[in-house]
Amino acid sequence: MIIGLAGKVCSGKSSLAEVFAQRGFVILDADHLGHLVLDELTADLATHFGSDILTPEGKVNRRALAQVVFSQPQALAELESLVHPKILWKVQQQRQIHPGTNFVLQAAVLHKGHLVDECEAVIWVKAPWWQRLLRARRRDGRTWKEILSREWAQRRFSIKAFGKDVDTYIVDNGKGLERARRELAAWLDHRIPV
């Protein structure tokens, strides 16, 4: 079984993924998988986006790449067309290698690249935009401009992106993490009794 864990940037997905881990789920972090894919695609990315996205050592400078793609919608679409199929393949590979394992797929962009098609259900983590912006500033040390450009890129992303083909549930992380954890644990108790 794979349960998707989605939400906008800094909504609290990683913190809530711990609830799944405590119940024996294996966490598949799409951001981490994406970083692995970026390393695999270094040459292709340099061809598409220019050598300015590389470090002096020839690795992908994710911050430089983000500045390019989050300021140009076409560049973001191009990056996603390269990266998302490989992330999907890595998720499918884990499912094949570990049959019968319960996974939680933590992904800000679960609705893209057919990742949601792998999920039996989706948990949407919501938090007020101002809380998410402050968390992003504290966590990532990014400039306000960088944070706002990511927020703008996700402006239309909502639980509606998943349609009616998958069960969805909303966890509100705007009223405290412990409350959100209890809410998620109650959903899991109902969905997958211990």
Question: Rounded mean pLDDT of 142-158?
Answer: 74
Q: Rounded to whole angstroms, how far apart are CA atoms 194 and 151?
A: 37
More confident residue, 70 or 99: 99
**Does the pLDDT of residue 34 top 60, yes or no?**
yes
Residues of the chain with pLDDT > 90, as a percent, come to 53
SS3 163: coil
CB 53 within 8 A of CB 68: yes
Q: Is 114 buried (19+), middle (13-18) or exposed (0-12) by CB count in 10 A?
A: middle
**End-to-end CA separation in angstroms for the chain:** 15
**Does the pLDDT of residue 32 top 70, yes or no?**
yes
**Does the pLDDT of residue 157 top 70, yes or no?**
no
Q: Rounded to whole angstroms, how far apart are CA atoms 44 and 185?
A: 42
Distances (CA, A) of 134 to 41, 49, 70, 124, 147: 32, 30, 19, 20, 9
Q: Rounded to whole angstroms, how far apart are CA atoms 144 and 146?
A: 5
CB 118 within 8 A of CB 88: yes
Asked which of 42-46, 64-68, 188-192 is least confident by mean pLDDT, the reply is 188-192
With cut-offs at 50, 70 and 90, classify the pLDDT of residue 156.
Answer: low
More confident residue, 69 or 109: 69
Q: Is 131 buried (19+), middle (13-18) or exposed (0-12) by CB count in 10 A?
A: middle
**pLDDT at residue number 193:** 59
User: How do beta strands 103-106 and 2-6 pair?
Assistant: parallel
**pLDDT at residue number 27:** 95
**Does the pLDDT of residue 23 top 70, yes or no?**
yes
**pLDDT at residue number 134:** 83
Whose tokens are 């970026």? That residue is 38
**Does the pLDDT of residue 188 top 80, yes or no?**
yes
With cut-offs at 50, 70 and 90, classify the pLDDT of residue 51.
Answer: very high
The CATH architecture of the domain made up of 2-191 is: 3-Layer(aba) Sandwich (3.40)
- At 100-139, the pLDDT tens digits run 999 999 988 788 778 888 999 999 999 888 888 888 788 7
**pLDDT at residue number 145:** 83
